Chain A
Amino acid sequence: MMTKQLLLFALLPIALGAQILDPVVLTKPATDAWPTYNGDYSGRRFSTLNQIDQSNVMHLTLGWVFRVRAGAVPGAIVGGEGPAPVEGGPPNPDLSTIKATPLMVNGILYFATPDNAWAVDARSGHELWHYFWKTKGGIHIGNRGVGMYGNWLFFETPDDYLVSLDARTGKERWHVEIADVKQEYFSTPAPIVVGNHVLVGTGGDSLDVPGFLESHDPETGAIQWKWWSEPLKKGDPGSETWPDEYSMRHGGGMTWIPGTYDPELHLYYLGTGNPNPVLTGRGREGADLYTCSIVALNVDTGKLAWYFQPSPHDTHDWDAAQTTVLIDGLFEGKPRKMLAQANRNGYFFLLDRTNGKNLLTAPMVDTINWSKGIDANGQPIPNPDKEATISGVLVSPPSDGVTNWPPPSFDPDTGLFYVGVKESFSEYYLTDTDPHPEGYAAAEKYITSYGGSLLAIDYQTGKTRWKHSYIFGGGPIGILTTAGKLLFAGDGLGHLLAFDPSNGSILWHAGLSDDVSNGPETYMLDGHQYLVVGAGDSLYAFLLE
């Protein structure tokens, strides 16, 4: 208790100052801050810091470890609409697994797990405050962290509230309901703050409900606009890709990955989730826009500027909810504004982000067997024979994909896009033969995997430049690259590794008590470059000796 008061006291100079987060910081690559989920709006997860480099990375040493104690523990600030949690019982690993990338602003780290948020001293790993939300329910699968506007923090809960906290104290300012947990919505994304817009998505595809993205006022929580990921009525753009209004109003398309933003174009980019019912296309014949799509929205109005659909008429749960990475560079010799996505369906996509035009589509692995080729627009053509049947179809990838939400990275120095992948198969068995199937409608049995790997993809050709494969381990994993010519990633086997991003050789590693569970991040503090990573219930901070 004593230490806690001292720490709060130490915070006072900041508390008395003006805004904690200067909005300008969000528009340039992070150096002495990590102010938004991906470090900056581009989604590249490339840091210009180079104090830690190839020549000294082997001297990285552990600075501190912070282990979360989730739940209504003594000292926690308690909020929420749900009943008081049952005392005792084993700790729930879902509540303490760190999938968030912590924000670091003025020496304080801010992050969340389902129902919990923390402020931690970035120098020492000491807890400043802990906020606990009493839940009404919802799937507690993960939380990707907090967003920040001035002194205010925002995070989402599994029972679909947007909660705003005062970053200085952890005290709640307000909460607003964004979706109905009884309709099986649950919310995991980190809100992204652009100007005075707090961009909030949601998830949930157990029942057949429509997805949406909302913009909220950071001061009051009031809704500014709402974009539905399906057309609402016949005649609306995209409605021609559904059989009827009933199917589009139950069509899924969740918005659970934090998006990226181009301040010049004023566009917010986002990959949407799978259509519903999930594993059968019956009852929703057509491309099912704008599910499994990359969309560009005007950030002030929520109006759709363009879309590209990586998985037209998806029947395998391949959300396009992977980070949409913004690349400025050459393509076919000309400078271009581009957007790259390593998609769950197994393909790498490169688009012109001014208009959504496809520049390149390339398979990332050899096992994918569900498409009949690429159409003139660069979209894979699904093979209807690989849609679930009663007797089963063998499909690669399984529903969790070749890759998934863990953040990839683009390194402008190497021109390579890095992503964790795995090559695996599932059998998909149709279980609901009703003309109006509901929910998932099919059962999936995981068959086998050929292992995971870390890929370095040349964004201009889609070709793999190098591949580091694991017999065990690997798979979708969060990645960071830096100007110190380093790539940091986990191996799924309890290690954090530093690679040479040009050729994949391993330069350093540390054993952690669990697998890396978020995207690693880096920042300067007191003249030291910190490397911070979450693995299971703990954050680890490394710096040079």
Chain B
Amino acid sequence: MDMRILLQRTLRAIAGFSICVALAAQPAPPKYDPVSVARGQQAFVASCGFCHGSRAKGGEKGPDLLRSVVVLDDENGKGIGRVILKGRPEKGMPKFAMTEDQIVDIANFLHQSIYSAADRDSYQTLNIVTGDASAGKAYFNGAGNCGSCHSVTGDLKGIGAKYEPVTLQDRLLMPLDFGPSASTKAVVTVTVTTPSGEAVSGPLLWIDDFTVALRNSQGTYVSFARKSDVIPQVEVHNPFKPHSDMILHFSDAEIHNLTAYLVTLK
């Protein structure tokens, strides 16, 4: 739908090379009282699940309640309660003698289920490790040429214990957590050469068509006005270029195999 990863986030962050870490999923913060939701779930599975399915997503004898307008419009069990207490016997929905508290519990369970379905930022990935670890190892040492920069007994030692598999997979694609304002993480470097021939190098802090900024060898912030594309000369060095290049050629199977292999490096 709408540009959800919004201007601020995208235009600043895409500008960098990766924001995957910042977007790591968090479990949905419960919006409804979890104790009541748990009671409601139990009651629902026992009394309603037979027809509506244990997750309320519909079954052979009853409709999906997470898409039900009655449920979506419900406030605190009032609308749902009317259906529960009266039933719709002619349509196959029996009536139930339930207390107000029981109804509120069921309503909370249904509302929390809807909230979790709608809140995509909280979706949890499943077991993503489906690749072939030995094929991944062969790729690491062979076609992938990963060993030219990395070593499984050196920088990658224990990497499988350090990250969740899904984070590991995302970071193997692009390990850089970087953006124009993320000065502390600026591992991209730049060399600026002024017309007089003076060259200054250091981590790149900012670059646009008019200014380039870096941290020099003394640790001081330095910025230069850019008069044109060549004055001063600006050379950006991205140490993650091999990763940027690989992404254009990786197959999904190669990615999955590599992940499966790296996960074994505990």
Q: By the criterion CB–CB under 8 Å, are A476 and B3 in contact?
A: yes
Q: By the criterion CB–CB under 8 Å, are A391 and B130 in contact?
A: yes
**A interface residue numbers (CB < 8 A to B):** 93, 97, 139, 141-142, 180, 182-184, 188, 203-208, 250, 254, 256, 273-274, 278, 317, 319, 367, 385, 389-394, 398-401, 404-405, 422, 424-425, 427, 429-434, 436, 438-440, 442-452, 470-477, 491-493, 495, 497, 506, 509, 515, 517
Q: Which 9 A-B pairs have the closest CB atoms?
A: A472-B15, A492-B11, A206-B118, A449-B14, A440-B120, A448-B174, A472-B180, A439-B117, A205-B1
- Residue contacts A-B, CB under 8 angstroms, 21 given: A183-B69, A184-B118, A205-B1, A250-B67, A390-B128, A392-B169, A394-B247, A398-B5, A427-B169, A429-B128, A432-B117, A432-B123, A438-B67, A446-B5, A447-B174, A449-B18, A475-B11, A477-B11, A492-B7, A493-B180, A515-B12
Closest to A438 in B: B117
How far, in angstroms, from A451 to B207 measured CA to CA in the complex? Answer: 12
Q: Which of A256, A439, A452, A515 has the most CB of B within 10 A?
A: A439
Check: B187 CB closer than 8 A to any chain A CB.
Answer: no
Which A residues are in CB contact (< 8 Å) with B19?
A: 446
Which B residues are in CB contact (< 8 Å) with A180?
A: 69, 72-73
Q: Given A203-B2, A443-B120, A472-B180 in contact, is the A400-B10 Cβ separation under 8 Å? A: yes
- CB-contact partner of A495 in B2, B131, B208, under 8 A: B208
Which A residues are in CB contact (< 8 Å) with B255?
A: 392, 394
Q: By the criterion CB–CB under 8 Å, are B17 and A515 in contact?
A: no
* 0 or 1 for each of B228-266: is its CB under 8 Å from A? (1 = yes): 000000001000000110011010100110010000000
How far, in angstroms, from A117 to B244 measured CA to CA in the complex? Answer: 44
Which B residues are in CB contact (< 8 Å) with A431?
A: 123-126
Q: Which of A188, A430, A438 has the most CB of B within 10 A?
A: A438
Closest to B25 in A: A443
Taking the closest CB of chain B, its distance from the CB of A173, in whole angstroms, is 27
- CB-contact partner of A391 in B6, B67, B128, B248, under 8 A: B128
Check: B179 CB closer than 8 A to any chain A CB.
Answer: yes
Q: Which of B1, B6, B255 has the most CB of A within 10 A?
A: B1
Which A residues are in CB contact (< 8 Å) with B120?
A: 206, 278, 439-440, 443-444
Q: By the criterion CB–CB under 8 Å, are B3 and A433 in contact?
A: no
Q: By the criterion CB–CB under 8 Å, are B129 and A472 in contact?
A: no
Q: By the criterion CB–CB under 8 Å, are B14 and A436 in contact?
A: no
Q: Given A184-B118, A385-B252, A447-B247 in contact, is the A273-B207 Cβ separation under 8 Å? A: no
Q: By the criterion CB–CB under 8 Å, are B207 and A472 in contact?
A: yes
How far, in angstroms, from A256 to B1 measured CA to CA in the complex? Answer: 9
Q: By the criterion CB–CB under 8 Å, are A509 and B209 in contact?
A: yes
Q: Given A439-B120, A447-B18 in contact, is the A207-B128 Cβ separation under 8 Å? A: no
Check: B101 CB closer than 8 A to any chain A CB.
Answer: no
How far, in angstroms, from A429 to B169 measured CA to CA in the complex? Answer: 11
How far, in angstroms, from A492 to B69 measured CA to CA in the complex? Answer: 41
Which B residues are in CB contact (< 8 Å) with A509?
A: 209-210
Q: By the criterion CB–CB under 8 Å, are A473 and B1 in contact?
A: no
Q: Given A431-B125, A440-B120, A491-B208 in contact, is the A452-B11 Cβ separation under 8 Å? A: yes
Q: Which of A182, A401, A443 has the most CB of B within 10 A?
A: A443
How far, in angstroms, from A452 to B208 measured CA to CA in the complex? Answer: 12
Q: Given A256-B2, A443-B125, A446-B23 in contact, is the A427-B173 Cβ separation under 8 Å? A: yes
How far, in angstroms, from A497 to B208 measured CA to CA in the complex? Answer: 12
Q: By the criterion CB–CB under 8 Å, are B128 and A452 in contact?
A: no
Q: By the criterion CB–CB under 8 Å, are B10 and A475 in contact?
A: yes
* 0 or 1 for each of B98-129: is its CB under 8 Å from A? (1 = yes): 00000000000000001001111001111111
Q: Which of B3, B207, B256 has the most CB of A within 10 A?
A: B3
How far, in angstroms, from A414 to B4 measured CA to CA in the complex? Answer: 33
Closest to A439 in B: B117
Check: B158 CB closer than 8 A to any chain A CB.
Answer: no
Q: By the criterion CB–CB under 8 Å, are B207 and A471 in contact?
A: yes
Q: By the criterion CB–CB under 8 Å, are B173 and A447 in contact?
A: yes
How far, in angstroms, from A446 to B114 measured CA to CA in the complex? Answer: 25
Q: By the criterion CB–CB under 8 Å, are B208 and A208 in contact?
A: no
Which A residues are in CB contact (< 8 Å) with B118?
A: 184, 206-207, 439
Check: B64 CB closer than 8 A to any chain A CB.
Answer: yes
Which A residues are in CB contact (< 8 Å) with B209?
A: 470, 491, 495, 497, 506, 509
Q: By the criterion CB–CB under 8 Å, are A493 and B20 in contact?
A: no
Which A residues are in CB contact (< 8 Å) with B130?
A: 390-391
Q: By the criterion CB–CB under 8 Å, are A492 and B23 in contact?
A: no
Check: B78 CB closer than 8 A to any chain A CB.
Answer: no
Q: Given A392-B128, A393-B252 in contact, is the A448-B73 Cβ separation under 8 Å? A: no
Which A residues are in CB contact (< 8 Å) with B208?
A: 470, 472-473, 491, 493, 495
Check: B80 CB closer than 8 A to any chain A CB.
Answer: no
Which B residues are in CB contact (< 8 Å) with A400?
A: 3-5, 10
- CB-contact partner of A474 in B15, B17, B57, B67, under 8 A: B15
Check: B160 CB closer than 8 A to any chain A CB.
Answer: no
* 0 or 1 for each of B59-102: is its CB under 8 Å from A? (1 = yes): 00000101101001100000000000000000000000000000
Q: By the criterion CB–CB under 8 Å, are B250 and A399 in contact?
A: no
Check: B8 CB closer than 8 A to any chain A CB.
Answer: yes
Closest to B74 in A: A182
How far, in angstroms, from A377 to B237 measured CA to CA in the complex? Answer: 44
- CB-contact partner of B1 in A183, A273, A446, under 8 A: A273
Taking the closest CB of chain A, its distance from the CB of B88, in whole angstroms, is 19
